[in-house]
Amino acid sequence: MIFLKDISTPINKVDNDEKMSGKAKYVADIKMEGMLYAFTVRSSIVKGRIVSITYPKIPDGYFVVDHRDILGKNIVKVIYEDMPVFTKNEITYLYEPISLLVGPDKEVLSTLVNQIEIIYEEEEPVFDWVDSVIHYHFEKGKGFEVFSDKEIIEYTYETSYQEQAYIEPQGFIGYPEKDGKVTLVGSIQCPYYVKNAVIQALGVRDDQVRVIQAMVGGAFGGKEEFPSLLACQLAVAVQKIKKPIKIIYEREEDMLVTTKRHPSRITLKAAIENKKIIALSANAGIDAGANIGLSGVVLARALLASTGAYTIDNIAVSGDVFKTNTVPNGAFRGFGAPQMFFAIEMFIEHVAKKIGVDSLDFRRSILAKQNDLTSTKGIFRDPILMPEMIDKALEVSDYLRKKDEYSKSKDFKGIGLSLFFHGCGFTGSGEKNVIKAKVRLKKELDQVYILIAAVDMGQGVKTSFRKLVAHILDIDIEQVIFNNPDTDFVPDSGPTVASRTMMIVGGIVARAAKEVKERWNEASFVVEKQYEQPEYIEYDEATFTGDAYPAYSWGVNIVEVEVDKLSYQVHIKKSWSVYDVGKAIDERIVIGQADGGLAQGLGYGYLEVMNHKNGKILQKNMTDYIIPTAMDMCPMETYLFDNPYAYGPYGAKGVGELSLIGGAPAVAKAIENAINKNVYKIPVTPEYIMELMNDGEN
Amino acid sequence: MAKISFVLNGKTVEFESDLNRRLLDVLRDDFNLTGPKEGCGEGECGACAVLMNHEIVNSCCTPLANVIGKSITTIEGFASTKRYVVIKDAFAKTGGVQCGFCTPGMIIATESLLNKNPHPTEYEIKIGLSGNLCRCTGYNLIVEAVKEAAKNGEGLW
């Protein structure tokens, strides 16, 4: 039997066949009897107030649904509650939702939308980063100020928007059930985020809302909090009209109005003594857009990574979330870490160059080690395998020889190396105090049902969790059942985010499975377990003190590029990656995550341009927002190092976000190596390279 | 409205319709063939790909008028062939499927490529897949899947 083998040995994914044959049902594929469609009416100004709205004559069977129909609270429940479900009259960004038009014929709806007349009173929008709504500050050791008489090296780094660009746009179907309950089926990462948001908007009891996950065609954070807004709007419409209603965004609407990765500006300063960094100052600003939403947590994750994969004893860290009149930004794989790791990885390289030491030796000399203090005076408790992982990456890529050769030649070839980690699970005490994950396993005769709210959005949760439970119980995977989460049947095991699913939820499921195993002779029973935080973990959110994460996954990326001498186009030739994710529950799935995350990180670093002009996102479709195609990507070699974590199932730590983080700095450094100029912002486009070639710093 | 006839997954279909309609909508709404997906609606992502006379086309950019008298194969029709089995096994083996939204289009692109070129080089594979966007995999394992299919399907194409 397969399970006598190492759990990491790959098995076929359980949903391969339905996905490949076209049978899998995504939300757009679902039809219901008497189903209506909804279109969103949006503001055409960036900032101001609605003076009046005149709707055309609404035909029978068509409806307008707006803020007046909200029986509960007109606020979308997320971490920071400042986003209305439908605006009443205040407009804070372009295309802010005002109402839904609902009816049976999509063409009639689009005609009606064009006949709506809205009169506004416009106000001056704010796009500069001046309105700080969240400010954080913390220090370690002696901070930074006391070293201001030393040699100071300072650089500022900038990162721009990134769009999740899941291939399946956002969508939901909502319908009333016989008992008045409102049910929502959607493309979502977090069934309970949606459910709790809808309960608050409808002003109903817990048992009057049901949320079911449809097959999810990619998410990457883009379906973490945004679907709560869409679901609240649709649920209000269902509550009013009492018919099934479907809303599916077209690509243009999806790109213009959904949340994106926060643009950032990060200034790093190093105090230097005897060619060593004795203190670091980090200041990060991120652009929240018009609503704060999750931005505080994104900023926190960025700041916690401000020393990168290194230990620096004296640090002063600060950051701000700025509100601007632009589309609200939100969750995207990596959640603040990609911005900071780009900045710190470039900075350490630039510092090494400036003080005239070999950057790799310099980085190795300051690598974080087991028992070192983290940036928040927590402890890296588990072994850190980075020295061995770096050696492996150097060996398989022939990095040292290539780096030396490319540095001397004028062939515009380059190779870059990035070192990084990702804190697994929610930041701080989020798991213990906020999420309080619960899981249930139900045994019925010889079958076991996994009842959790974790969503398979392509990352293989259905396969890896069935495999995990089957492996512990030593039964066939066919005996383990895992259906898409339905909040009427599964407990709240938390959202499918933050690289927490296998390590945190899987850890609880594994504990439950062990109990099922002990009681296997009983015919039918249910085991419920709750998250238990390791006792040694303590974190104070107010002062940023203690263990921000229970465990860390680590990575090394090496990327080789060639830059076209005439057009400055970047061609990625090959990548080599080494990761420590504790223990892979399925190697093939982890390698798939590794490849896909790296591709997104590389795209972030050199290809994906998104910006706004006067509050309007300029890239509105797949034609002008360029994500990598097969032609842009390269062969990727990946190696996994086992380093089991005591509280993860079989030692598993987080996987999902880690592989995105190192891509941008690795490709940016490879480009630096090729063009022999310092890079300070991403994406490193041909236009930016041309600028650097003309007057950049060597 | 006009009368239209074409071959859909091996069977002749005849019906009245507006010839300006997108083939994608006709397949999904009239024939309940939801394997072809709408990812972008403008021919960039390839999630809606089908075979027209055995050449890959984006059904979101194909008006019904262009389909008259042609043979259309969707993933649902292709799934009953031996070639599909070889391609599907290759995608499973290498790990070429994640969220699955691009997958039917990727498989159609693979068939279209191998049908013309049973022994493609890696570069030719990348060109063959370049009209199909995938945001999950980074393409590496999909390219491997096409190599694997070409190898295992020896003689089928």
What are the residue boundaries of the structural domains of chain A, listed by start? 2-25+430-530, 31-124+165-257, 264-427+543-695
Same-domain pairing of B37 and B74: yes
How would you label B60-89 residue by residue, b for 16+ Cβ within 10 Å and e otherwise? bebebeebeebbbbbbbbbbeeebbebbbb
Q: Does A588 touch chain B (CB under 8 A)?
A: yes
User: d(Cα A342, Cα A284) in Å, to the nearest integer?
Assistant: 12
Report which of A99, A599, A621, A608 is spatially closest to residue B38, judged by C-alpha positions. A621
CB A421 within 8 A of CB A553: yes
- Give the pair of three-digit tokens for residue A584: 């892979």
User: d(Cα B149, Cα B118) in Å, to the nearest integer?
Assistant: 9
- Give the pair of three-digit tokens for residue A469: 């439970």
Same-domain pairing of B61 and B88: no
Kindly indicate the confidence band of residue A521, based on its pLDDT and cuts at 50, 70 and 90. Answer: very high
Kindly indicate the confidence band of residue A59, based on its pLDDT and cuts at 50, 70 and 90. Answer: very high
User: What angle do the packed helices B103-116 and B82-94 form, to 10 degrees?
Assistant: 120
Measured torsion, CA atoms of residues B86, B88, B93, B95, in degrees rounded to the nearest 10: 150
User: d(Cα B34, Cα B36) in Å, to the nearest integer?
Assistant: 5
Residues in B closer than 8 angstroms to A584, CB to CB, are none
pLDDT tens column, A629-657 = 999 999 999 999 999 999 999 999 999 99
pLDDT tens column, B98-137 = 999 999 999 999 999 999 999 999 999 999 999 999 999 9
Kindly indicate the confidence band of residue B86, based on its pLDDT and cuts at 50, 70 and 90. Answer: very high
Q: Does A33 touch chain B (CB under 8 A)?
A: no
Same-domain pairing of B6 and B67: yes
The amino acid present at A396, given as its one-letter code, is V
Q: How far is CA A192 from the centre of its chain?
A: 18
User: d(Cα A641, Cα A584) in Å, to the nearest integer?
Assistant: 9
User: d(Cα A617, Cα A608) in Å, to the nearest integer?
Assistant: 13
Nearest by CB: A167 against B122, B133, B143: B133
Report which of A86, A133, A156 is spatially closest to residue A324, judged by C-alpha positions. A133
Q: What is the pLDDT of residue A435?
A: 92
Q: Which of A12, A16, A17, A20 to mutate to test the interface with B (most CBs of B within 10 A)?
A: A20
Alpha-carbon gap: B17 to the closest alpha carbon of chain A (Å):
16
Is residue B86 a part of any domain in this protein? yes
Q: What is the pLDDT of residue B82?
A: 98
pLDDT tens column, A334-361 = 999 999 999 999 999 999 999 999 999 9
For B1-54, list the strands marked E by DSSP: 2-8, 11-17, 49-52
pLDDT tens column, A544-574 = 999 999 999 999 999 999 999 999 999 999 9
Which residue among B12, B45, B78 closes a domain?
B78
Percent of chain A with pLDDT over 90: 96
Percent of chain A with pLDDT over 70: 99
Check whether the bond before A683 is cis (ω within 30° of 0): yes
Fold of A31-124+165-257: Aldehyde Oxidoreductase; domain 4 (3.30.365)
Residues in B closer than 8 angstroms to A592, CB to CB, are 95, 98, 136-137, 141
Give residues 250 to 279 of A whose Cβ lies within 8 Å of B.
250-251
Q: What is the pLDDT of residue A427?
A: 86
Neighbours of A536 (CB within 10 A): 10
What mean pLDDT is predicted for residues A106-114? Answer: 96
Neighbours of A191 (CB within 10 A): 28
Q: Does A26 touch chain B (CB under 8 A)?
A: yes
- Give the pair of three-digit tokens for residue A573: 């030739």
Inter-chain CB proximity A217 and B99 less than 8 Å: yes
User: d(Cα A292, Cα A214) in Å, to the nearest integer?
Assistant: 28
DSSP letters along A363-393, please? HHHHB--TT-B-TTB-B--S---HHHHHHHH
Inter-chain CB proximity A630 and B129 less than 8 Å: yes
Alpha-helix residue ranges (DSSP H) falling in A553-657: 587-606
Is residue B157 a part of any domain in this protein? no
CB A454 within 8 A of CB A465: yes
Q: Which residues have C-beta within 8 Å of that of residue A698, sequence separation ≥ 6?
A: A676, A677, A678
What mean pLDDT is predicted for residues A521-539? Answer: 93
Q: What is the pLDDT of residue A533?
A: 87
Is the per-residue pLDDT at A529 higher than 70?
Answer: yes
CB A230 within 8 A of CB B147: no
Q: What is the pLDDT of residue A697?
A: 75
The amino acid present at A309, given as its one-letter code, is A
pLDDT tens column, A388-399 = 999 999 999 999
User: d(Cα A194, Cα A210) in Å, to the nearest integer?
Assistant: 9
Alpha carbon of A654 to those of A368, A431, A505, A549, A588: distances in Å?
A: 19, 14, 11, 11, 15
Q: What is the pLDDT of residue A537?
A: 85
Considering only alpha carbons, which residue of chain A is nearest residue B134? Answer: A167
Question: Are A2-25+430-530 and A264-427+543-695 in the same CATH fold?
Answer: yes
Same-domain pairing of B109 and B139: yes
Strands across the sheet containing A151-159: A132-140, A314-323, A276-289, A264-273, A151-159, A681-682
Q: What is the pLDDT of residue A430?
A: 86
Q: Does A137 touch chain B (CB under 8 A)?
A: no
What mean pLDDT is predicted for residues A478-504? Answer: 97
Domain that holds residue B103: 82-152
CATH no. for residue B123? 1.10.150.120
Alpha-carbon gap: A119 to the closest alpha carbon of chain B (Å):
32
Q: What is the pLDDT of residue A3?
A: 46
Q: What is the pLDDT of residue A1?
A: 39
Instruction: Please provide the size of chain A in residues.
Output: 698
Percent of chain B with pLDDT over 70: 100
Alpha-carbon gap: A21 to the closest alpha carbon of chain B (Å):
6
Q: Which of A167, A576, A660 to mutate to test the interface with B (most CBs of B within 10 A)?
A: A167
Inter-chain CB proximity A630 and B36 less than 8 Å: no
Same-domain pairing of B55 and B100: no
Same-domain pairing of B123 and B103: yes
User: d(Cα A97, Cα A328) in Å, to the nearest integer?
Assistant: 12
Give residues 152 to 171 of A whose Cβ lies within 8 Å of B.
164-169
Nearest by CB: A215 against B100, B127, B136: B100
Diameter over CA atoms, chain A:
80
Which residue among B47, B78, B109 closes a domain?
B78
What mean pLDDT is predicted for residues B64-90? Answer: 98
Nearest by CB: A627 against B101, B135, B142: B135
Is the per-residue pLDDT at A125 higher than 70?
Answer: yes
Q: Phi/psi class of residue B41: alpha, beta or left (left: φ > 0; alpha: ψ in -120 to 50)?
A: left
pLDDT tens column, A414-432 = 999 999 999 999 988 889 9
CB A227 within 8 A of CB A187: yes
Is residue B29 a part of any domain in this protein? yes
Same-domain pairing of B70 and B128: no
Same-domain pairing of B87 and B102: yes
What mean pLDDT is predicted for residues B33-62? Answer: 98
Give residues 629 to 648 of A whose Cβ lies within 8 Å of B.
629-631, 633-636
Same-domain pairing of B8 and B65: yes
CATH class of A2-25+430-530: alpha beta
Enter the DSSP assignment of A56.
P
CATH no. for residue B6? 3.10.20.30
- Say which residue, A218 or A535, is predicted with more confidence: A218
Please tell me the total count of domains within chain B.
Answer: 2
Same-domain pairing of B69 and B137: no
User: d(Cα A306, Cα A138) in Å, to the nearest integer?
Assistant: 11
Inter-chain CB proximity B138 and A17 less than 8 Å: no
Residues in A closer than 8 angstroms to B35, CB to CB, are 21-23
DSSP three-state, residue B108: helix
Q: Which residues have C-beta within 8 Å of that of residue A336, sequence separation ≥ 6?
A: A262, A286, A297, A298, A299, A300, A301, A302, A303, A305
- Give the pair of three-digit tokens for residue A133: 């709504």
Complex confidence, ipTM? 0.98
| Strand (E) or helix (H) holding A106 | helix A106-114
Considering only alpha carbons, which residue of chain A is nearest residue B124? Answer: A631
Give residues 440 to 459 of A whose Cβ lies within 8 Å of B.
457-459
| Burial (CB count <10 Å: 0-12, 13-18, 19+), residue A566 | exposed
Mean pLDDT, rounded, of chain B: 98
Mean pLDDT, rounded, of chain A: 97
Nearest by CB: A24 against B95, B100, B130: B100
Considering only alpha carbons, which residue of chain B is nearest residue A456? Answer: B99
pLDDT tens column, A63-93 = 999 999 999 999 999 989 999 999 999 999 9
Q: How far is CA B30 from the centre of its chain?
A: 19
User: d(Cα A470, Cα A461) in Å, to the nearest integer?
Assistant: 14
CATH architecture of A264-427+543-695: 2-Layer Sandwich (3.30)
What mean pLDDT is predicted for residues A527-539? Answer: 91
Residues in B closer than 8 angstroms to A173, CB to CB, are none
Nearest by CB: B97 against A20, A599, A630: A20
CB A126 within 8 A of CB A325: yes
Residues in B closer than 8 angstroms to A623, CB to CB, are 40, 42, 44
Q: What is the pLDDT of residue A2?
A: 46
Residues in A closer than 8 angstroms to B37, CB to CB, are 26, 28-29, 167-168, 217
